[in-house]
Amino acid sequence: MKDAWGERFKTERKKWYATQEDFANAMQKEGHATTKTTVGRWEKIGGKYGKEKPGFPSFPTMQTISRLLKVQIGYLIGESKGRTFDEQEVSEYLGISVEAVNALRELAARPGANSSPFKEKYGLPTTSYADTLEKVLTSSSFRCLIDHLNEVDCGISDFTERNSPKSRNDNANLLESERCREYRLSPESNPERFDHDGHLVNESGARMFDPEDPERLGEEVIGMRNRVRMAKCLLIDDQMAMVREVWPQVVQLDEGVADLGDIVVQATENSCRVTEKP
């Protein structure tokens, strides 16, 4: 708790108050006898302030600090990752981290890739990231994209875990133990079948169940390569399906055809045909 406070309090204080003295003045206006030294001591909670190990301020003082810094007390003392109750509640409701909630919020707050003072001046519309994000998140094709991304995530995690140094060694030792048990082999009874580390060897003296066996590792990598290639194709299909669902005109525009309401324009590099709609 104290470690979290020391780091988070200082970070949040700097966001709203440039100096320790500024924050001390704000606390004084709230009726607290706070000095610059007091603020410095609070920033060292969890560590040392000179020879002193500072303790937490009183709860009423914490409440004022929380209000001035616009964060919840639970965040300051490390009980939650959400700076505010809203962040924490949204995180718990969606089942994703506070960092993910903030990433979505920051993305939605962007004005739009085609936003500029020049375009706004002449009245050309811009599309905010929030509008685009809403269209994507509410499309049925987005679920398919996430499903396939999750498959990629699971596949990579499984591949990494299965082929980690520990897993490779554990698997080799297990196979070796089973072979020794099946044929009743041991370094004491069959010293010629084991190397100086006590591992079972073949007729050429190489370890029989090698954690770094090129043949097995090659099969693993090729198998994962094929899965990744398949996933890449599926992800491209998912993205295009989502684009077609959210912006159906993309299909026609890809062919050089645009429905402009009263007319249909068909264009190539060499010609353009305009047809009035009935």
End-to-end CA distance of the chain: 72
Domain boundaries, the chain: 2-79, 86-137, 141-246, 247-278
What's the whole-number mean pLDDT along residues 2-11?
83
Q: What is the pLDDT of residue 77?
A: 84
pTM of the model: 0.62
Give the ranges where the chain is alpha helix by DSSP (H).
Answer: 2-16, 20-29, 36-42, 59-69, 73-76, 85-94, 98-108, 117-121, 129-137, 140-162, 165-183, 214-246, 249-254
What token pair was written down for 174?
Answer: 């297990």
**8 Å CB contact between 9 and 56:** no
pLDDT tier for residue 47 given thresholds of 50, 70 and 90: confident
Beta bridge partners of 266: 257, 273
Phi, psi values for residue 249, rounded to 5°: -65, -15
**pLDDT of 63-104, one tens digit each?**
899 889 988 888 888 877 777 667 777 777 778 888 888 888
For the structural domain made of 2-79, what CATH number should be given? 1.10.260
Give residue-wise pLDDT tens across range 147-179. Answer: 999 999 999 999 999 999 999 999 999 999 999
Q: Which pair of tokens denotes residue 254? A: 């890809």
Comparison of pLDDT for 4 and 176, the residue scoring more: 176
